[in-house]
Amino acid sequence: MDKKILLQDINISIERGARYRLSGHNGSGKSTLVNTIAGNPMYTIDSGNIIFNGMDITKENATNRALRGIFLGAQNVPEINGLTLLSFLKHSMIAHTHYDTGKDLSMGGFLEKLESVREQLHIPQDWLNRSVNVGFSGGERKRIMLLRLLLTQPAFAILDEPDSGADKDVQNQIIDTINKMPNTTFLFISHQDDFASRLGITKTTTLDNGKIVV
């Protein structure tokens, strides 16, 4: 299969604590860029490096990047039949806790934290026993993303069109959650200027045809 070059001459530096926005029309390369940063194996890097917290992570897989603190709230999330949301969150938290502290996370500790965040987001308890993303609306999937975000408290959160499929109430919940995470650096993709203006954007970069134009 012939390779297709999707991004060229990309040079972006995101300061700790920033709220950075990627803009551009559909097909300009925004989702390709954030998926590449997160380690999606569909994309390969022919030249250049990704430096995160002073370390070269270019050759690391998506799992290692996630454990280092890179969170991807993708626009299109997979449905996983047979894997409950509770089990998914538990294994994610066990992995993050062990990576960060070298210690095992007790079931009691996990459930206590989960219950606190679940109540904070007003997420129904019965969601936890449903398969991941199966039968959930777009807005409900965004709320599950927020649940993951608050549980893992990543250093760097990439949110690809978090406003897409979300009504005003969910959009407000997204903004409220982000405002409660001052220690997380955010990279957003959003086509809605009104929504983006409420995120406290510190810098915007515009892509066109796989290149930075602004």
Q: Where are the beta strands (DSSP E) in 5-95?
A: 19-23, 51-52, 55-56, 70-73, 80-84
2 pLDDT higher than 90: no
Q: Where are the domains of the chain?
A: 19-212
Instruction: Tell me the pLDDT band of 191, cut-offs 50, 70 and 90.
Output: confident
* CATH code for residues 19-212: 3.40.50.300
Question: Could you tell me the pTM of the whole model?
Answer: 0.94
The tens digit of pLDDT for each residue in 131-185 reads 999 999 999 999 999 999 999 999 999 999 999 889 999 999 999 999 999 999 9
Structural contact between residues 24 and 207, judged by C-beta atoms closer than 8 angstroms: yes
